[in-house]
């Protein structure tokens, strides 16, 4: 007889914490990359391979935390281990047949293949985080975590901004006329292929994923 483990968010929380640690590391590396002299950045603008590795690991752990949540919810609700569970992230399909199928899966008494053993009330909460319900951050997480979307570990791009309208650092008081500082006018970002900023996007995930877990925490 297979012993059913006590439901817990311990593993989901561990994934969130691991993603957090990687994000801190990435931010430090990001700061070092952009704090170099402008001439050095322009002469060697290559993004270190570690950036791609860290980005991939952050997203993997954030997505895995949601999958662990569903796995544990299934144990909590059905009192047994359910196979093939996963946190679904679904768009509204264009075909009528696919629309009907999605409606049936998400109906209160419907059977969703990724939510085996999940109660009706918990299923309703998980539905709030579906792209077809207007939740955009889960769609972005799904797209970035999909290994079919890229051939290398991660493809990230960078851009710079020399705009003179950009707020400059506060200069020290001086009687002489302040000179224009290129470093103050310089702003850089590392972007995903869709041109969304890497750090800001990962921070959204790092804020939203724990918030999803917290919605169920009292039940464990």
Instruction: State what percent of residues in the chain have pLDDT above 70.
Output: 82
Statement: residue 172 has pLDDT above 70: no
Name residue, tokens 């768009």. 91
Which residue, among 54, 126, 134, has the nearest Cα to 91 in the 3D structure?
134
DSSP state of 90: -
Statement: residue 169 has pLDDT above 70: no
For residue range 129-144, list pLDDT tens digits in order.
Answer: 999 999 999 999 999 9
Contact 69, 12 (CB under 8 A): yes
Statement: residue 173 has pLDDT above 90: no
- Model pLDDT, residue 156: 62
Contact 141, 89 (CB under 8 A): yes
- Model pLDDT, residue 106: 98
Contact 45, 158 (CB under 8 A): yes
For residue range 39-82, list pLDDT tens digits in order.
Answer: 898 898 888 889 989 999 999 999 999 999 999 999 999 999 99
Q: Which parts of 35-95 fold into alpha helices (H)?
A: 38-43, 49-78
- Model pLDDT, residue 38: 85
Contacts of 141 (CB under 8 A, 6+ apart): 59, 62, 63, 89, 205
Contact 103, 37 (CB under 8 A): no
Contact 95, 32 (CB under 8 A): no
């Amino acid at each position: 007889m297979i012993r059913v483990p006590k439901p817990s968010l311990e593993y989901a929380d561990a994934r969130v914490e691991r993603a957090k640690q990687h994000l801190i590391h990435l931010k430090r590396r990001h700061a070092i990359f952009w704090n170099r002299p402008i001439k050095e950045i322009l002469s060697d603008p290559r993004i270190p391979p570690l950036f791609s590795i860290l980005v991939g690991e952050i997203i993997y752990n954030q997505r895995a935390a949601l999958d662990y949540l569903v796995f544990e919810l299934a144990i909590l609700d059905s009192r047994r281990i359910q196979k093939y569970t996963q946190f679904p992230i679904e768009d509204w399909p264009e075909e009528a047949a696919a629309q009907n199928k999605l409606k049936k899966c998400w109906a209160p008494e419907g059977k969703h293949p990724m939510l085996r053993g999940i109660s009706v009330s918990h299923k309703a909460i998980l539905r709030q985080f579906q792209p077809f319900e207007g939740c955009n951050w889960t769609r972005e997480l799904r797209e970035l975590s999909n290994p079919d979307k890229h051939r290398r570990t991660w493809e990230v791009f960078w851009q710079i901004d020399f705009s003179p309208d950009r707020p400059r650092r506060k200069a020290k008081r001086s009687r002489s006329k302040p000179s224009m500082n290129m470093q103050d006018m310089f702003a850089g970002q590392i972007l995903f292929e869709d041109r969304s900023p890497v750090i800001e996007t990962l921070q959204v995930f790092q804020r939203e994923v724990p918030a999803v877990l917290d919605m169920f925490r009292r039940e464990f």
